[in-house]
Amino acid sequence: MVTSALVTIAMLGSTAPAGSRADTLHEWQHDRFGMFIHWGVYSEAGGTWEGKNVDGAGEWLLTNAQIKPMDYELLAKRFNPTKYDPAAWVKLAKVAGMKYIVITSKHHDGFGLWPSAQTDWNVKRTPINTDLLKPLSEECKKQGIHLGFYHSIMDWHHPDYTPRRSWDPRPPTQKNLDAYVPYMKAELKELLTNYGPVFELWFDGQWEDSWTDARGRDLEKFVRGLQPNMLVNNRISHSGEFGDFKTPEQEIPANGIPGQNWESCMTMNDTWGFSKHDHNWKSAETLITNVIDCASKGGNYLLNVGPTGEGEIPIESQQRLLAVGRWMTKNGEAIYGTEAGPFPKALAWGKVTRKGNTLYACVLDKSVTQLTFPGLHTAIKSSAWLDGGSLTVKDGQIELGQPREEIRVVKVELAGEPKVEVPQVMAAADGSISLEASEAVTRGGLHYEAGDDRKSLGFWTNLDSSAEWTFQELGSGNYRAEVTYACENASAGSTVAVDAGSGRQSFTVSPTDGWGKFTTITLSPFALKAGKNRVHVQALTIPHGAVMNLRSVKLTKID
Ligand code: FHN
């Protein structure tokens, strides 16, 4: 339970160390919105090498241009952030409405933003030759913003990290991660000892087979021993299956990740590290929509800036953050301290967040003039524009008046706990009922993937995940069940149970040559009774880590 004092401090955005990891998590859930900072010697290159633009993310320069590590080291001599102003960076984050900052202590290139005693491949090799993290940590403490570190497990520079990049000419050291991990731990000990309370430790670069869940568990024990109250993301694990929160990247899961803490990280253009030639900036309204979308599904939004080698946040990022901040100043109550809205399926006009019996209707469709809440059975007591202005409620509908120029929020006071009846899936004229992935109510880590080659429930990796539909069938009788799914060959073999009416059928997932290649199987008929029915799908065994991508379950009346 968070003490009232902590909640008060949290409301002010304090860096006060929490009393426990549960308190840190509660504050993290309250904060909802943070700044990601990708900064390193790659920022000096700005997505170019030897005078040419290099495609791909700026921080992947060493790999994208296949640069030998010793040649890449030349960048350190050019990295001289004389314009670095940590006070201004922290102030910008605050003005934008962000409550925490996560900065790259070390990215995949192995370069450290602090003078680690473990190596000289860090700021010690630069003209500025100073700790760049310390003044930021001091400013965060002074201005009441939490500080986190991004730390890459993968290290393209360290001679003992394996696998080596194929173009790295250095002779192998005959060592491997058994020698590299103690080095990484020693660097992490410096970061977790010398910079105050760390809000979240954001691991990355966990995907190569040299990193294992066993190594992740060992590392988790080590870092939690240094800072027990700190949050650690799921990328400490190779499988992504453990850590305090999931980390969807460059996407916001269609249904959130029910039952899990999660934080969507996104760039403002297409690159994390600064790139001179990436001008594909998202609009401020898109960024505001993303903040709302994450909060409406119970998640956090970690929005990235990529400062230049001189230490300046690009003006395009600053302009957008100031616009987001203006919106947050008027509407932050609809984001901070909220939980996911009560509507399991998307609303036509926008997104809803919740605090107890209060709903915050974020009206994304600026042309809409009436708000309806499909399936809401709790009476509306009152409603008003959050940024000022009364509204009238008629037959459960809120009259909004004229279309608007910006996203506004309606604060809706309910007469009690919101009760929402999940809208029914209705049968088609031919008596068939097609239960689509986008219509499912999901539990566990699985969630809807919208891409053309998906349109299915993916990320199905644990036994407590399930998909469920309720529907009003046309009449009792026997229904043929057809299940459409995809499964990459290496993951096939799970046993899946389909419950419908009073029956259960199970099947073994076959390989379909890929997560986007779908097949349809027919199960034995189900006997359904008149009235409301439900179909529930859950894995009984998962021998190879993932179950399937489920696209639909179709029931067709046969007699
Ligand atoms: O490879 C990194 C990438 O450079 C960036 O740091 C993102 C941010 O989450 N993570 C990895 C890509 O998934």
pLDDT at 322: 98
Asked if residue 476 has pLDDT above 90, the reply is no
pLDDT at 337: 98
pLDDT at 195: 98
Residue 511 tokens read as 């390989």
Calculate the dihedral angle through the C-alpha atoms of 166, 172, 178, 182, rounding to the nearest 10 degrees. Answer: -90
Atom of ligand 1 nearest to the CA of 59: 4
How would residue 498 be classed by pLDDT, with cut points 50, 70 and 90?
very high
**Residue 40 alpha carbon to ligand 1 centre in Å:** 14
**How many helices (H) and strands (E) are present in the chain, helices listed first?**
12, 29
pLDDT at 473: 61
**Residue 541 alpha carbon to ligand 1 centre in Å:** 32
Contacts for 61 with CB less than 8 Å, ≥ 6 apart: 42, 45, 47, 49, 54, 67, 72, 109, 273
pLDDT at 18: 54
Three-state DSSP class for 552? Answer: strand
pLDDT at 9: 34
Asked if residue 56 has pLDDT above 70, the reply is yes
pLDDT at 424: 65
Which of residues 300 and 426 earns the better pLDDT score? 300
**Residue 204 alpha carbon to ligand 1 centre in Å:** 7
State the DSSP string of 107-175. Answer: -TT--BSS--TT-SSBGGGSSS-S-SSHHHHHHHHHHT-EEEEEEES--SS-TT-SSPPTT--SPP-S-
Query: Whose CA is closest to atom 6 on ligand 1?
Result: 272
**Residue 424 alpha carbon to ligand 1 centre in Å:** 40
Asked if residue 512 has pLDDT above 70, the reply is yes
Angle at 296 between CA 205 and CA 448, to 5 degrees: 60
Position of tokens 């992740």?
Answer: 216
The β-bridge relationship of strands 432-436 and 200-204 is: unpaired
HSE of 552, CA atoms in CB hemisphere, 13 A: 14
Contacts for 51 with CB less than 8 Å, ≥ 6 apart: none
pLDDT at 13: 40
- CB-CB neighbours of 270 under 10 Å: 15
pLDDT at 423: 60
User: What is the C-alpha to C-alpha distance for residues 547 and 508, in angstroms, rounded to an integer?
Assistant: 10
How would residue 459 be classed by pLDDT, with cut points 50, 70 and 90?
confident
Q: Write the DSSP symbol of residue 38.
A: -
pLDDT at 2: 33
Contact 47, 266 (CB under 8 A): no
**Residue 213 alpha carbon to ligand 1 centre in Å:** 19
Q: What is the mean pLDDT of residues 517-528?
A: 94
Query: Whose CA is closest to atom 5 on ligand 1?
Result: 272
* For the chain, the helix, strand and coil percentages under 3-state DSSP, each to the nearest 5: 25, 30, 45
Backbone φ, ψ for residue 438 (5° rounding): -70, -15
Atom of ligand 1 nearest to the CA of 207: 13
pLDDT at 12: 37
Q: What is the mean pLDDT of residues 245-271?
A: 94
pLDDT at 48: 98
Mean pLDDT, the chain, whole residue set: 92
How would residue 4 be classed by pLDDT, with cut points 50, 70 and 90?
very low
Backbone φ, ψ for residue 405 (5° rounding): -90, -15
Asked if residue 442 has pLDDT above 90, the reply is no
Q: Which amino acid belongs to residue 266?
A: M
One-letter-per-residue 3-state SS of 304-339:
EECCCCCCCCCHHHHHHHHHHHHHHHHHHHHCCCCE
Asked if residue 6 has pLDDT above 50, the reply is no
pLDDT tens digits, residue range 137-185? 999 999 999 999 999 999 999 999 999 999 999 999 989 999 999 999 9
Atom of ligand 1 nearest to the CA of 202: 9
pLDDT at 83: 98
Diameter of the chain by CA atoms? 81
Best residue for ligand 1 mutational test, from 62, 272, 302, 305 (most atoms within 8 Å of Cβ): 272
- CB-CB neighbours of 344 under 10 Å: 17
Cα separation values, 90 from 74, 103, 104, 143, 282, Å: 30, 12, 15, 7, 22
pLDDT at 174: 86
How would residue 484 be classed by pLDDT, with cut points 50, 70 and 90?
very high
- CB-CB neighbours of 417 under 10 Å: 9
Contact 133, 187 (CB under 8 A): no
How would residue 104 be classed by pLDDT, with cut points 50, 70 and 90?
very high
pLDDT at 450: 67
pLDDT at 29: 98
Residue 124 tokens read as 């010690």
Q: What is the mean pLDDT of residues 98-113?
A: 98
Beta bridge partners of 448: 457
Atom of ligand 1 nearest to the CA of 272: 5
Which residue from 524, 504, 517, 515 is spatially nearest to 547, judged by alpha carbons?
A: 515
Asked if residue 524 has pLDDT above 70, the reply is yes
Which of residues 255 and 165 earns the better pLDDT score? 165
Contact 243, 256 (CB under 8 A): no
Q: What is the mean pLDDT of residues 369-391?
A: 93
Angle between helices 4-12 and 21-31 (to 10 degrees): 40
Around ligand 1, the residues with Cβ closer than 6 Å are 57, 59-60, 204, 249, 265, 272
**Residue 259 alpha carbon to ligand 1 centre in Å:** 25
Query: Whose CA is closest to atom 1 on ligand 1?
Result: 205
Contacts for 303 with CB less than 8 Å, ≥ 6 apart: 33, 34, 35, 36, 98, 265, 266, 268, 287, 290, 291, 324
pLDDT tens digits, residue range 195-209? 999 999 999 999 999
How large a percentage of the chain has pLDDT more than 70?
95
Which of residues 203 and 254 earns the better pLDDT score? 203
pLDDT at 7: 37
**Cα R_g (the chain), whole angstroms:** 25
Residue 3 tokens read as 């003490």
